Structure 1
Amino acid sequence: MKATQAAAMRGFTLIEILVVVALIGLLAAFIVPNVMGQSEKARVDLAHANMNAISTQLEMFRM
């Protein structure tokens, strides 16, 4: 093979790159909202756990 033919066969085409970028975009569109919602839920759960712990401590103090 000539050097120019080997160099031409070595890379990705624009279509291949666009397909990969589109797939990554679709995956991100589904994953990012789920991940963002989980952090808020974790904060709420932690706040509830802290309130329950404070409530238990107050009940023990009153005894």
Structure 2
Amino acid sequence: MKRAQTRETRGFTLIELLIVIVILGLLASLVAPQMFGKVDDSKIKTAQTQMKMLETSLSTYRLDMGTYPESLDELLESDKPNWAGPYFPKEVPPDPWGNDYVYRMPGDDGKPFTLLSYGADGREGGEENNADIVLQ
């Protein structure tokens, strides 16, 4: 006795897979720009937080030494008298885009110091993600 051969359907057809891929592509094109915008915002907030931590270290240095350091490296090591550091727990981190923070002493506009990040492009000026982030 022979069995009747039936065709069993296994898996998906090529058309069905293509339709799913197109739908996923459309969803990704709607969601991805919003998600990447959040990444840029978080980098800006990270830079602001790191600069506030550096500000605290700079203020502690000033309390001990009577003046602000000439460079951020003096927060970690110095041979000056009354130096009671290190004033920062480890190496000064780069900004979230991998660039060094800019520290000027004396600062701009009569301030004792200026601390800033040049943003995503690493150059002075710019708009949106490329805008300078200045410690307020």
CA–CA separation in structure 2 for the residues paired with 1:58 and 1:18: 59
CA–CA separation in structure 1 for the residues paired with 2:55 and 2:10: 67
Q: Which residue number in structure 2 is paired with residue 51 of structure 1?
A: 51
* DSSP 3-state at the match of 2:52: helix
Equivalent residue letter for 2:38: Q
CA–CA separation in structure 1 for the residues paired with 2:52 and 2:11: 60
The Cα shift of 1:62 comes to: 2.1
CA–CA separation in structure 1 for the residues paired with 2:25 and 2:59: 52
Q: Deviations over 1:4-34 (max 9, x none)?
A: x22xx22423331222111111121123222
Instruction: Determine if the alignment matches structure 1 residue 42 to structure 2 residue 42.
Output: yes
Unaligned runs of 5+ in 1: none
Equivalent residue letter for 1:23: I
The TM-score normalised by the length of structure 1 is 0.67
Equivalent residue letter for 1:42: S
CA–CA separation in structure 1 for the residues paired with 2:11 and 2:51: 59
User: Between the two proteins, what is the percent identity of the paired residues?
Assistant: 33
Equivalent residue letter for 1:34: Q
- Count of aligned positions: 60
Higher-helix-fraction structure: 1
Equivalent residue letter for 2:43: R
> Which residues of 2 match residues 1-63 of structure 1 at below 5 A?
1-3=4-6, 5-6=7-8, 9-63=9-63
The TM-score normalised by the length of structure 2 is 0.37
